[in-house]
Structure 1
C-alpha cells in the first residue's frame, strides 16, 4: 500500500532479448555487433521471454513455466488478465477485530496474492520476524476457524502454511512476498509491533555487498516458504524531499541524490539472483514492484529505470488525494476532469495543459517504457476522507484544513513547513481503519474498509465498531449522525459519500467505479488490476447485526473485476506499436545527471549514447524513440542536434489521454559522428516526468536497427 502520499504534496512548480544472450557477449568483441534474426532452433524458453524483459547474461530462466510463446503470463482458464490481491498479515482477529485469513480469499477469482509485508532486518536480510507462536506469518493458528486448519506437510504454521495449503487446490494462483510498504520501507515492525526506523531500503542500497546479501536471502526465503516471487514495495526512491514515511527522513533526505541509482542497482541484483535461482531450480521466480502513481514523486524517480527488470509493475493508483493537505478530492479517480483544485492552485493545468493525479495519466507514464500487459492498475478497497469540508460540489474539490496547523501529523504539509495546510481528516465513525501516531493517538484520515462505508451509506453504524475502540455513548465522533449520500462523477469514474450535516467527505469505490476500471483495463490491453487490500471488499450479510443485516467482508468488488475481465482478449505483449527492425545493434541510451528534487524543473537530464556496435554512427543518422503521452509533446534539446516530436496526444486529458506515445526523431549533426567505443551526450528538456524512453530505432546507411537498450525480441521470435 502506498500509505500517505508525499509529506508535502506540492504541484510541479512553474519554474533498459534474449538476455542479450551469451552469443551477444561473444559478438561484442567482433567488428560488427549485430544480432541476426532468430532461427527455428531458438530455445523455447527464450521464445517465452516477455518483450523488453532483462535477463542476466549467460542465464536462460525457465520462462515457459510461467509465460507462453507470445510472452504472455499463463494464469489459467477464465483469467486472461491479472487480479492481484494484497493479503495482509495483521487481520488475524486479535482483540476481536474482524479477521481475514487465507481461507477467506476468493481463490477462484484471483490470479496472484501479495503477502504484506516482509521487511529488511538488521543483517540486511528479508524477514517476517522471529519464529514464535504469535508470529502471524509462520506461527499463529486459528483452531476454531473452519477452513483455517494447518496443513501438516509444512514445518511452519501461520499465514504461510494456509497460503500453500490453498495453492495446492488452486495451482494457477501465484503468491509473492511483498517487501517494504509504507511502514517498512525504511524500517520494520518488531515482534512487539513497535516500529524501528533502521534505514531499510534507504541504507541497504548504500553498497553492493548489502544488496547481494539481501538478494541471496530473498532467494532462500522464496525456496523455504514456497513463494513464486518477490514484490518490492520501496516507498520511495525519489529525490523529492519529504516523500515517504516521516520517521525515515533522517535516512532518506540526506540520500535523495543517489536513491534512484541505488534502487536500480538493487533491482538488477535481484533480477540476476532470481534468474540464476530459476535456472538452477527449474522454477521461474518473478520480480515485481509496487510503483508510485504520483507525478510529484515520479519527478524524482529519474525515468524509473527499474522497469526492464520487472515481470510487471503494480501501479499504486490510489492515495492521489488525502489529508496530507487540505485539498478534498478523489482517492483513485480513473480520469482527470479538469477541475482538480490542487492542480489549479499549483498552476499545473496552465503550465502543462493536463492533470497528473489520476489512473489514466499514471498508466500512460509507464506505458512509455513497458507493454500494456506488464502494467497493472491499482484499486483501493478502502476510503479516504475529510471532515469540516467547505466549498466544492457536495464536498468534491472543496477544502478542509486542520484548524490548528501546529498539530499537523508528522510529515504532512504543515509539519514540514509547507505553506499548504494539512487536512482535517475524518475521525471516529468515519475512520475505523486509522493509524496511530507515536503517542498512540488516532490519526484522522477518513480511512475505512469499503464494507464500513457501505454501512454508513445505508445508515448503519455497524455491529463491529466496538472492536475498533469506538464508544458512541461517550464520544460524539463515534456516533452515526446525518446521512451519507452517494455521489458519482461520470468523467472521473469516482464515487464518494457526502454527509451534508457533518460536512464529511469520504472517497469510495463501488461496483460502478470498479466496473469502469476493469473495462478500461480490458479495452487497453492492460495486464490487470491490483487490489489494496482484499479485506476491504464487501457483501450484504442478512444474519449480522442481530439479524437486521449489515455489510461485512465479502466478494462483491472481486466478482465485479472477474466478471468484467474473464472474457477479455489476451493482453498487450509488445512494447512498440510498430514492428521493430530484425537486426539489433549494441548501442545503449541512458538518461542521467538529473537535478535533484525541486531543482529538476524543467526536467533536464543528459541523454548519453554509448556506441559499442563496431562501426561508426555517422552524421545524419537518426534515432527515433517513444515516450509516454503523460508528458506533453514539447521535448527539446540544447546540444545543437535536431529534435522533433510527433504528438500522440495534444491538449488536456479530461476523460483520458487519446494516444500512448509521443514519437521523437533525434538527428546526429552532419558535422559530427559517434565512433565505435565512444559516447555522445545530448541535453534534453521536458516538463512532466516520463518513464524510460523506449522502442528505439537507429537508421543510417539505408538500414534500420533496434537497440540492445530495449531487450527486444527479434523478428523470428515475435508473435
Structure 2
C-alpha cells in the first residue's frame, strides 16, 4: 500500500513539475545560496533571484535545527522578502561541507528519516519557507575528512527523499546539492529513483579542483580539456546519458577564486603540481590579482574559463568572471536546463557583479527567443 501511494505521489508530482516547466526560458531559475546576516541581504539585487537558499541548517537528534542563535532572525528576514517579491522562493538547506557529520547514521533507518521529514515540515511551516535543499557531502563516498560514510548511503538517500516528498506533499520544493565530479555522479545517487521526486538538482560544478588537489586546474570550467575531464559540461552530459531530465538540472557557478602556490610556469601554471593556498571572494578579485602585484590574466579557450598566473610568486588563481558567467548562463538556457545557481551571494559585489551579469544574459536570451 505504501509503495502504491508513493507511486501515485511520484506520478502526480512529476506531472506538476513538467507542466510548470513547459516554458524553460521564462521559468529559468537563478538561485543564490546565502550565508550572510539579516542586514547584508538588503545590499543585493534580490529582484534578480528566483530562489534564496538559507545556508545552513543542521541535524540534531535526527531533526532539522537552525544551528546558531542568529539563524532565526536571518531566516525570518529572508522569508519577509517574499512580501516585496511574491515569486521569490526561500529554501532551507541542510548540511554543507563539514555540516553533515551525522547524516549517514541518522538517515540509515526509517525511523531517523521519518523523524527528519516531520521536523522539516514543521520548520517550513514555522517560517513560511518554500522547501528544503539537501547538501549532504557526500552519500556513499568520502567527503569532509573524518565524516562517516558507507555504501548503503546511496539507497538511504533515495529513501530519505521518498520520506520527505511523502511528508511535504507536492507544493513544497525539494532539491539537493550534488557534487559535480565523476565519482559522486557515478556512486552517490540512484538518479532514476530520486529525480522523479525532486524539483531540481543543484550541480556543484565548482571545486572540481579543490583544496586537497595536488595539481592546479579550472575549479569551475565550462568544458573539459585535454588535461582535465571534470567540467560543467561533463557533469551535464553524464546526467543526460543516465536519463536525468535536463529541465531538472541546475549548474553551479563560483563567486570566488581558489589560489594555489608553488605552480611552475609551464602552461602558465595550468595542470601543474601545486598546493592550495587561499580562497578569494569575487568582490576582491581585481584587488588581489592585479597587474601591479604581478598577476597576468589568461583565458583558456578549450575550457572557456579564466585564470590568472603570477610567474614571479608562482601563484595560480582559478575562478569565474563576467565573461565565463555569461557563457555559462547562455549554456544553461540553450541546453534547456532548469537554471543556474551560485555559491555564494555575499561574495559578489552588490552592483555590476556576477549576479547582475547572469540576470542581464537571461533577459537578453529570453528576448531573443
**1:311 and 2:199 equivalent?**
yes
**1:228 and 2:130 equivalent?**
yes
Alignment of 1:191-590 (within 5 A): 200-238=102-140, 240=141, 243-248=142-147, 251-252=148-149, 256-275=150-169, 284-301=171-188, 303-304=190-191, 305-340=193-228, 355=229, 357-367=230-240, 368-400=242-274, 424-426=275-277, 446-458=278-290, 482-538=293-349, 553-568=350-365
Alignment of 1:560-639 (within 5 A): 560-568=357-365
**1:178 and 2:112 equivalent?**
no
**1:111 and 2:111 equivalent?**
no
- Structure 1 gaps of 5+ residues are 1-20, 27-52, 93-98, 139-157, 187-199, 279-283, 341-354, 401-423, 427-445, 460-480, 539-552, 571-719
Q: What is the match of residue 20 of structure 2?
A: 71
- Offset at 1:222? 0.4
**Alignment CA distance shift 1:55-1:447 (3 Å):** farther
- Offset at 1:533? 0.4
**Alignment CA distance shift 1:118-1:54 (3 Å):** farther
Q: Is the 8 A contact 1:80 1:566 kept in 2?
A: no
- Structure 2 gaps of 5+ residues are none
- Offset at 1:55? 5.2
> Equivalents in 1 of 2:254, 2:92: separation in Å?
19
> Equivalents in 2 of 1:202, 1:511: separation in Å?
38
**Alignment CA distance shift 1:55-1:532 (3 Å):** farther
Q: Is the 8 A contact 2:96 2:135 kept in 1?
A: yes
- Offset at 1:536? 1.4
**Alignment CA distance shift 1:25-1:456 (3 Å):** closer
- Offset at 1:79? 4.8
**Alignment CA distance shift 1:62-1:56 (3 Å):** closer
**Partner residue of 1:82 out of 12, 16, 29:** 29
TM-score by length of structure 2 reads 0.91
Give me the CA root mean square deviation: 2.8
- Offset at 1:301? 2.1
> Equivalents in 1 of 2:120, 2:128: separation in Å?
12
> Equivalents in 2 of 1:326, 1:532: separation in Å?
23
1:104-154 CA deviation, whole Å, 9 max, x = no partner? 231111100111000111x21000136xxxx2211xxxxxxxxxxxxxxxx
- Offset at 1:292? 1.2
> Equivalents in 2 of 1:111, 1:498: separation in Å?
35
> Equivalents in 2 of 1:488, 1:332: separation in Å?
13
- Name the count of aligned residue pairs: 365
> Equivalents in 2 of 1:104, 1:161: separation in Å?
17
SS at match of 1:183: coil
**Alignment CA distance shift 1:71-1:534 (3 Å):** same
**Alignment CA distance shift 1:54-1:162 (3 Å):** farther
SS at match of 2:146: helix
**Alignment CA distance shift 1:80-1:366 (3 Å):** same
**Alignment CA distance shift 1:62-1:504 (3 Å):** closer
Larger radius of gyration: 1
